[in-house]
Amino acid sequence: MKFSNVALGAASVASVLAAPIDGAKEKRAGKFEFLGVNESGGEFGQNTLPGRLGKEYTWPNKTAIGTLRSQGLNTFRIGTMMERIIPDKLTGAINETYFSGLDDLVKDVTSKGSYAVIDPHNYGRYYGKIITSSTDFGAWWKTVAARFKDNDKVIFDTNNEYHDMENSLVKDLNQAAIDNIRAAGATKQKIWIEGNSYSGAWHWIESGSGDALKDLTDPADATGKLLYYEMHQYLDTDGSGTNEACVSSTIGAERLAVATKWLKDNNKQGVLGEIGAGANEQCQTAVKGALQHLADNSEQWKGPFSAHPPRFHGSIPSSSIPTEPIPFSGLRQINRHNGQPSDSLLAHSAAVHHHVVPTPSTDNARSTNLIIMLGMVQVSRKVPFDDPNVLNLCRAGYIASNLIIAIIYLYVQAKINKKKDLTTLKYVEPAPMGSSEEGKLVTTTIHAYDTTQLRAAFRSQAMGIAMMGFMHIYMKYTNPLLIQSIIPLKGALESNLVKIHVFGHPASGDLKRPFKAAAGLMQGLQGGSVQNDKKAIETAERAGRGGAKEE
């Protein structure tokens, strides 16, 4: 996939994955082995090596990863740079300063039972030049793999998106990586293999990747069951992920079909390491089709990964991951084009995740958020943050905004407790997509439901404050203070609970409980939407899938 440098501010990997796969009759397959997301930051600043932590590069936030884990994700693909790990030459020694950050993150992820994928985001290059020595490439992998040889939750991704190289060279590099990873003593770990031409699924055969890589061997396992072929797929015209429009509503499944046949014909297993498209109805349908195709062919496909969440994320509320479509595609492209983190980038990221309350996201709300963000990014560039008085004023505004939000939520809490509506509420929660389980019946009360939603909002605010504190106090970023003084307050005032309990709107239509989930990553990986119709509830009750009454 050939990328331009144009960042599409209106596209979102997460919002495309948001729409559930509708219909109870759709085929369900076995549970995916991997369900994950790409975690970037360690590979940032590719034009500034080795770079400074918190300036040119950073490491993903552990709290955010924990939130995603609690939502059901079990695999995290961690971007890194070959030159930072071993800076002098491919056959050289490890840079312990940089490696310690990677090692700490990997240990944190794997200690909790998740997989950590080591992803050298180098495109088959080292200091910008194509790696031509498979011996040296193998030596790099042998050195790195030796550090993780006793951790079977580590997965080795040989290299991100080889491109514009001879297929024979891509084969040799992959085989050298496999051989040397095993020679390092890492004999039980899974290895992900990537192909030429950006490892695109839709032209896996046409590019020659299929023929070149089908005979790779694993010295540790003659069956090859520890080798996975990692492919990527974007759904715009050229498959680059730089255009908001998708080719059609069926293009997702169509582009995967060729790769699926190759995997089946050659008795191989694959993972869709990246998938992305624009944040519009046609693209959402296309992505749903792609995910359903993976589920229908789970013998071959072992899991999907969203392309990239916002870089430097850290405030992802458990109730909605995430609702805004703005920065995802742009941030993904920045990552893939040697971009460096900036205050503007952090402002975009924080604006999405700082405080997302559980509320339906309308096109109008998204449009106004986009306008506010873009406007505030421009304004923030002109604000003299080096002036202590100005900086303190921005800090005061941020604190005041969060105090107002907290007061609003406390008032909502008082209203909920005063009403203490014990009306029974029943609905069916969908099972994760790819799971053989059916949806679960939840029986609760209006009071308990609203209380749970409010707690999620409080948690979201607390996580946002923690992330903002980290970015501002530790990483010294100032620009996000402006956006974070506006967007979270706007989101709170537009939330369902505030509309009902503060503004007195009737709990009907979009405000009818259970609230419609906003467009988010996890909803896209579920097998359907929340159901509260009589037929669905009765079916769940007859099947004995009821949950405990909360109050």
Band of residue 17 on the pLDDT scale cut at 50, 70, 90 = very low
As a whole number of angstroms, the distance between CA 400 and CA 394 comes to: 10
Separate counts of helices (H) and strands (E) for the chain: 19, 12
Each residue of 23-43: pLDDT tens digit?
Answer: 333 333 347 899 999 998 999
- What average pLDDT does this structure show over 363-371? 59
| pLDDT confidence of residue 335 | 31
CA 430-326-336 angle, 5° bins: 100
Instruction: Count CA within 13 A, CB hemisphere, residue 539.
Output: 13
Which of 88-92, 332-336, 449-453 shows the lowest per-residue confidence on average (mean pLDDT)?
A: 332-336
- The 10s digit of each residue's pLDDT in 38-47 is 998 999 888 8
Are 358 and 412 in contact by the 8 Å Cβ rule? The answer is: no
- Taking alpha carbons only, the member of 286, 288, 279, 182 closest to residue 227 is 182
- CA 131, CA 127: separation in Å to the nearest integer? 9
- Residue recorded with tokens 């109008």: 364
Place of tokens 């989101």: 491
Averaged over 139-159, what is the pLDDT? 98
Looking at per-residue confidence, does 382 or 171 come out higher? 171
Among the listed residues 45, 154, 46, 157, the one whose alpha carbon sits nearest the alpha carbon of residue 105: 154
State residue 26's pLDDT score.
37
Ramachandran angles phi, psi of 66, nearest 5°:
-60, -40
Token pair 């402006």 is found at 482
Helix (H) or strand (E) segment spanning residue 327 = none
- CA 6 vs. chain centroid, Å, equals 21
**CA separation for the pair 66, 200 (Å, rounded):** 30
- What are all long-range contacts of 168-171, with beta carbons under 8 Å and residues at least 24 apart? 168/212, 169/130, 169/132, 169/134, 170/124, 170/195, 170/196, 170/209, 170/212, 170/213, 171/212, 171/213, 171/216
Q: Is the pLDDT of residue 61 over 80?
A: yes
Is the pLDDT score of 266 beyond 70?
A: yes
Contacts of 148 (CB under 8 A, 6+ apart): 106, 118, 154, 156, 186, 189
Whole-angstrom Cα distance, residue 281 to residue 164? Answer: 34
In this structure, the strands spanning 129-130 and 36-39 are: unpaired
Q: Among 405, 366, 369, 332, which Cα is nearest to 519's?
A: 366
| pLDDT digits 0-9 by tens, 85-100 | 999 999 999 999 999 9
**CA 322, CA 344: separation in Å to the nearest integer?**
19
Distance of CA 80 to the CA centre of its chain: 16
pLDDT bucket at 484, cuts 50 / 70 / 90: confident
Nearest alpha-carbon partner for 178 in 195, 197, 194, 191:
191
In one-letter notation, the amino acid at residue 267 is: N
Q: What is the pLDDT of residues 172-223, one digit of tens each?
A: 999 999 999 999 999 999 999 999 999 999 999 999 999 999 999 999 999 9
CB atoms closer than 10 angstroms to residue 468: 24
User: CA triplet 125, 131, 135: central angle to 5 degrees?
Assistant: 140
Q: Which amino acid is at 420?
A: K
Adjacent-strand bridge partners of 424:
445
Asked if residue 146 has pLDDT above 80, the reply is yes
> How much is the pLDDT for 478?
80
Domain residue extents for the chain: 363-542
Residue 494 contacts by C-beta under 8 Å, 6 or more apart in sequence?
A: 357, 359, 365
- How many Å apart are CA 416 and CA 450, to the nearest integer? 7
Residue with tokens 């506006």: 486
Residue with tokens 């560039």: 381
Q: How far apart are CA 475 and CA 380, in angstroms?
A: 17
Residue 399's contacts (CB-CB under 8 Å, 6 or more residues apart) are none
Pairwise CA distance, residues 271 & 226, whole Å: 12
* 548 contacts: CB under 8 Å, gap ≥ 6: 443
Looking at residue 461, the DSSP 8-state letter turns out to be H
* One-character DSSP codes across 460-513: HHHHHHHHHHIIIIIS---THHHHHTTHHHHHHHTSHHHHHHTS---S-GGGSS
Evaluate whether 167 touches 199 at the Cβ level (below 8 Å).
no
| Alpha carbon distance 503, 363 (integer Å) | 21
The catalytic site residues sit at 161, 274
What pLDDT score does 20 carry? 38
Mean pLDDT of 464-489: 83
Rounded to the nearest integer, the mean pLDDT of the chain is 80
CB 77 within 8 A of CB 159: no
What is the rounded CA–CA span in Å between residue 529 and residue 209? 38
Q: Which residue has the higher pLDDT, 489 or 345?
A: 489
Q: Residue 170 and residue 122: Cα distance in Å, rounded? A: 13
Report residue 7's pLDDT band, with 50, 70 and 90 as the boundaries.
very low
